[in-house]
Amino acid sequence: MNRQPAQIVVLGGGFGGLYAAMTLQRELAGSDTAQITLVDRRNYFTFTPFLPEVAAGTLGRAHVTYPFRFLAQKEQFCFIQGAVQDFDLVKRTVRTETTVIPYDYLIVSLGGAPSFFGNPQIAAHALTLNSVDNALAIRNHIIKLFEQAVVETNPVRRRQLLTLVVA
């Protein structure tokens, strides 16, 4: 009897999802009992602990991101780029904007969203730091404020431009 390998689908390529896929693949190495597929909306992993350095300008995008396809090839799991639209627990399928992926086992590790702890003022004025694009936006915003402060003649306004709050 030729048995099909179990399909394990991991949703989300952050630390939790990526390491779940890599660990499962390593544990199952050499066997044909399962096929692991990682699904993420981006095609790269972001090492988020270094995002403050990107915002500060000491590291660039290439220093904190790594393509999932290289990781998948090295670790021998499959990668599908796509934003998860929904998943059906009865039919055991995951739907992205481009495909439907069947699974036998599902790991959901889609990450989180920034929390402002119910403070609408912070939410309205904050620049979040949970992606490379956010880090670059913060860097660009601060440089713009500094450039404005250099030519500002009003000392009160200059002080406002140079006042930053980290929450």
Segment 155-164 mean pLDDT: 95
Per-residue pLDDT at 2 exceeds 70: no
Q: Which residue has the tokens 């699974």?
A: 103
CA-CA-CA-CA torsion sign (130, 131, 137, 141): positive
Segment 101-130 mean pLDDT: 91
What are the start-end ranges of the E strands in 33-151? Answer: 34-40, 44-46, 65-67, 78-81, 84-88, 93-96, 100-102, 105-108
In the predicted model, what is the mean pLDDT of the chain?
93
Task: Give the pLDDT score at 110.
Answer: 92
Write the CATH number of the domain with boundaries 6-108: 3.50.50.60
69 and 95 in contact (C-beta within 8 Å)? no
Task: Give the pLDDT score at 22.
Answer: 95
Per-residue pLDDT at 30 exceeds 80: no
Task: Give the pLDDT score at 32.
Answer: 85
Task: Give the pLDDT score at 4.
Answer: 87
Q: What is the pLDDT of residues 10-21, one digit of tens each?
A: 999 999 999 999
Long-range contacts, stretch 158-167, CB < 8 angstroms, 24+ apart: 167/122, 167/126
Segment 38-45 mean pLDDT: 96
pLDDT category at 29 given cuts 50, 70, 90 is confident
Q: Which residue has the tokens 């988020």?
A: 48
Q: Which tokens hold the place of 28? A: 């199952």
d(CA 21, CA 11): 10
Residue limits of CATH 3.50.50.60 in the chain? 6-108
